[in-house]
Structure 1
Amino acid sequence: MLLREKPRAISQRPAPLHNPPRILAVDDVAENLEIVVVRLEAHGYEIITASDGEEGLAKARAIKPDLILLDIMMPKLDGISVLKELKRDENLGFIPVILLTAKADRTDLVAGLDAGADDYLTKPFDQSALVARVRSMLRIKALHDLVQDQARTLAEQTKELAAFNATLEARVDAQVGEIERMSRLKRFLSPQIADVVAASDEAQGLLESHRREVSVLFCDLRGFTAFTETAEPEEVMRVLNDYHETLGALIDRYEATLERFAGDGMLILFNDPLPCPRHTERAVRMALDMMAAIKARAAMWRKLGHELGFGIGLACGYATLGRIGFERRFDYSAVGSVTNLASRLCDEAKSGQIIIAARAFHTLDDGLFESRPLEPLTLKGFRRPIEAFEILGAATAEQSASA
């Protein structure tokens, strides 16, 4: 049995077999058609007839049968021409064709099979051969339609999967962008503040240029330059990492903003980009915790032969804040004399000393901290002497009560 179906586009949806299966018989001899009708209708098939090639081709296009029995020698349009037209018609899908031919028409039979016929019967044919060939071709038609339907379903599922993948890729890109944005925020914000900023619809606006009162803390190590001149670079990096990790944990705990760090120096902001109540008090409390933590680390460094101290300067005032930089690299920065003042006060601080500018000190509630006034300080970049205080520690409960 020969199958010579030409490939069809997967996008076509084949029609299922009719119920009962519909067979088109095309023959110009009425007696042949009568035999086909009687024998096949007895087996439950629906039979439609055509008496020439043109009529057969028209009915094939109109009714889309499940099988065609096609005589070769016919007037108007012979069976080979009908067969070629059927196979060129993309709208018909796969319809198996059994050629009906006389025993002597071997040349026409070969031409018909080459044109796309699927099987043949020689006339006169008996009932059993006819029914067997019809059943076989209808099984092949049903299997072909099933495969084509599965292929179409698979193509649709592939298309849907591609669309889903595109949507998923877009979501992943959006999430990666969000993660990158969070990573940029966390370079200078505590995790708590970064989460709030990332969750806000006005996140970008919070980082645009604006003016606000802030408390600024500047700190660095004492003896660090001498240390770097004598220690190996690897040892310097280990000490710096220890130092940054120790202070970084406190910056996060107090929800401060790390404006920048350079080597052993750190500039830390309070009250920006999100408002922070009692921000100067919070800065002083963090300064005390920083001092205690670094004193503990310095004791360990001393055992390794490294003499390092720690000083802090604090100031409060207005600054202009926002993103600075260029497209591939942005930082968050504060611009104003308050940052310079905190830096100069830090320069004046001896190891273990916390110096706070008078304006910042006077914003603190009385009795919260032990302190002592300092002689007015002459600082680089400031024309007038600066009044300042040294923070000695947090006041005890008894001291706060008496105040």
Structure 2
Amino acid sequence: MTATILFVDDEPDLEALILQKFRRQIRDGQLALIFARDGLEALESLEENPHVDMVVSDINMPRMDGLSLLAKLQETEDKKSTVIVSAYGDMSNIRTAMNRGAFDFLTKPIDFADLEATIDKTIRHVEMLREVRRRQVAAERAHAALSRHFSPELAKRLAAGGEGEGIEVQWRNVATIFTDITGFTSLVESAPPETLGELLNEYVGGMTEIVFAHEGTVAKIIGDAIQVLFNAPGDQPDYATRAVACAHDLDAWAQDFCARQKAKSVNIGTTRIGIHAGPALVGNFGGNRFFDYTAYGDSINIAARLEAANKHLGTRICVSASVAEAAENFQGRPVGDLILRGRSEPLRAFEPLPRAKFEAPETALYSEAFAKMEAGDAGAMPAFAALVGMHADDPLAGFHLKRLLNGAKGTRMQLE
């Protein structure tokens, strides 16, 4: 690295003397020297050469003295490290210079060994400051990238931990949430761009805040669809419990959002949510240029399929048995054994319920009807018929009744 130094002094012989004393460093590319005769000329030179590393300035000069120049330099954003030169007996000016932010001082007549040592010390200080700034900028960039995926506190910890720490690609057991809005494509085609942009920003922003409140990780946002991870990048032993609680809050917020939009004559569809827990390949897949923290694997695909299954079932939230079994005090009702698109083996699924609905009498009636259907009991059809008769707003009960009326038996069902 070549250090560039600006010497500011009105003595006519100084330039030749300095060039002579530092000829070896100049020849070897260690130093580049610039000269100015007073403070005003120095400021003009700095405008033309913003890469100057340090300034060595005399105090007594015409037009603008060294103390005035120092004050001007301290007002700039890129404060140059400045060494002030003055007569030995002029300690009051030297004290003023140090109070105004001078890095160091030299006395006249200049001892060139002392000058060389002072230059070396100042350049090391400049390089240290630049390294600190570089790391700060890198940390700010890392934090900005991490903030798209992680809660604010977690983003701070990851950014402070250094680039790549904690986000390397690895296999982890995770709980994955997928959310999607029904009929959003139609809304995109019909809504004015400004309305759509405002709506989508509010929706994604609100949903993301809920995810972060539960300390989840936003792995992907594609339009209205959101993919969320728990137990990544850090360990969360209660990740299944967190995922279910987060899903309930997402569902409640999305319903309220839908109602608010309807009051504005904007019809937005229901948000569907799917959750599955299992192993996945998780980490930053963005390479060196981009940061893309996400997850891949069969368990991720299952969560997406469960989200889509809601459309057939009439439910808003559908979770796999791996989630229901791992979540603490899970409250919900069985949906059935689903053969999801692209899979041959059935997967037991559940509909998680808020406490009030779980404890309601109709949930017990549903469980009784489901048990009969699972056992192949002929009483399943009238049991579901009675439940639908009392609660026509229960789409899952209506789904099973329709299946039974169409001749289906048991709890295994193929979903396309």
TM-score calculated relative to the size of structure 1: 0.58
Q: Residues 312, 397 of structure 1: CA spacing in aligned structure 2 closer, same or farther, 3 A cutoff?
A: closer
2:139 is aligned, of 156, 178, 188, to 178
Check conservation: 1:319, 1:334, Cα contact below 8 A: yes
| CA–CA separation in structure 1 for the residues paired with 2:144 and 2:326 | 34
Q: Residues 264, 396 of structure 1: CA spacing in aligned structure 2 closer, same or farther, 3 A cutoff?
A: closer
1:169 is aligned, of 130, 133, 138, to 130
**Matched positions, count:** 264
| CA–CA separation in structure 2 for the residues paired with 1:296 and 1:241 | 16
* Equivalent position of 2:323 in the other structure: 360
* Equivalent position of 1:300 in the other structure: 260
Check conservation: 2:158, 2:165, Cα contact below 8 A: no
Unaligned runs of 5+ in 2: 1-11, 22-88, 91-106, 361-416
Q: Tell me by how many angstroms 1:220 deviates.
A: 1.1
| CA–CA separation in structure 2 for the residues paired with 1:322 and 1:258 | 12
Percent identity, aligned pairs only? 29
1:263 is aligned, of 223, 226, 242, to 223
1:384 is aligned, of 316, 329, 345, to 345
SS class of match (1:326): coil
Q: Tell me by how many angstroms 1:242 deviates.
A: 0.5
Answering whether residue 209 of structure 2 is matched by residue 246 of structure 1, we say: no
Superposed CA deviations along residues 324-373 of structure 1, whole A, max 9, x for unmatched, are 1333123122111111111111112247611001221122234x42x121
Check conservation: 2:139, 2:160, Cα contact below 8 A: no
SS class of match (2:295): strand
Superposed CA deviations along residues 217-258 of structure 1, whole A, max 9, x for unmatched, are 000111211111110122111111001110111111111111
* Equivalent position of 2:308 in the other structure: 347
Q: Residues 205, 153 of structure 1: CA spacing in aligned structure 2 closer, same or farther, 3 A cutoff?
A: closer
Letter in 1 for 2:17: A
Check conservation: 1:220, 1:265, Cα contact below 8 A: yes
SS class of match (2:292): strand
Check conservation: 1:356, 1:391, Cα contact below 8 A: yes
* Equivalent position of 2:32 in the other structure: none
Check conservation: 1:247, 1:290, Cα contact below 8 A: yes
* Equivalent position of 1:333 in the other structure: 294
Unaligned runs of 5+ in 1: 14-141
SS class of match (1:384): coil
Check conservation: 2:149, 2:219, Cα contact below 8 A: yes
Q: How does 1:75-224 map to 2 (within 5 A)?
A: 148-149=109-110, 161-200=122-161, 204-224=164-184
* Equivalent position of 2:37 in the other structure: none
SS class of match (1:377): strand
Check conservation: 1:188, 1:258, Cα contact below 8 A: yes
| CA–CA separation in structure 2 for the residues paired with 1:376 and 1:304 | 40
* Equivalent position of 2:249 in the other structure: 289
| CA–CA separation in structure 2 for the residues paired with 1:275 and 1:6 | 69
| CA–CA separation in structure 2 for the residues paired with 1:255 and 1:221 | 23
SS class of match (1:267): strand
Q: Tell me by how many angstroms 1:160 deviates.
A: 5.0
SS class of match (2:17): coil
Superposed CA deviations along residues 72-127 of structure 1, whole A, max 9, x for unmatched, are xxxxxxxxxxxxxxxxxxxxxxxxxxxxxxxxxxxxxxxxxxxxxxxxxxxxxxxx
Check conservation: 2:175, 2:240, Cα contact below 8 A: yes
| CA–CA separation in structure 1 for the residues paired with 2:351 and 2:266 | 26
Check conservation: 2:244, 2:327, Cα contact below 8 A: no
Q: Tell me by how many angstroms 1:161 deviates.
A: 4.6
SS class of match (1:375): strand
SS class of match (1:180): helix
Q: Tell me by how many angstroms 1:154 deviates.
A: 8.6
* Equivalent position of 2:333 in the other structure: 372
| CA–CA separation in structure 1 for the residues paired with 2:297 and 2:281 | 6
| CA–CA separation in structure 2 for the residues paired with 1:387 and 1:306 | 36
Letter in 1 for 2:327: L
Q: Residues 162, 266 of structure 1: CA spacing in aligned structure 2 closer, same or farther, 3 A cutoff?
A: same
* Equivalent position of 1:9 in the other structure: 17
SS class of match (2:147): helix
| CA–CA separation in structure 1 for the residues paired with 2:206 and 2:288 | 32
* Equivalent position of 1:46 in the other structure: none
| CA–CA separation in structure 1 for the residues paired with 2:348 and 2:237 | 25
SS class of match (1:282): helix
Q: Tell me by how many angstroms 1:264 deviates.
A: 0.6
Q: Residues 200, 158 of structure 1: CA spacing in aligned structure 2 closer, same or farther, 3 A cutoff?
A: closer
Check conservation: 2:315, 2:351, Cα contact below 8 A: no
Letter in 1 for 2:159: A
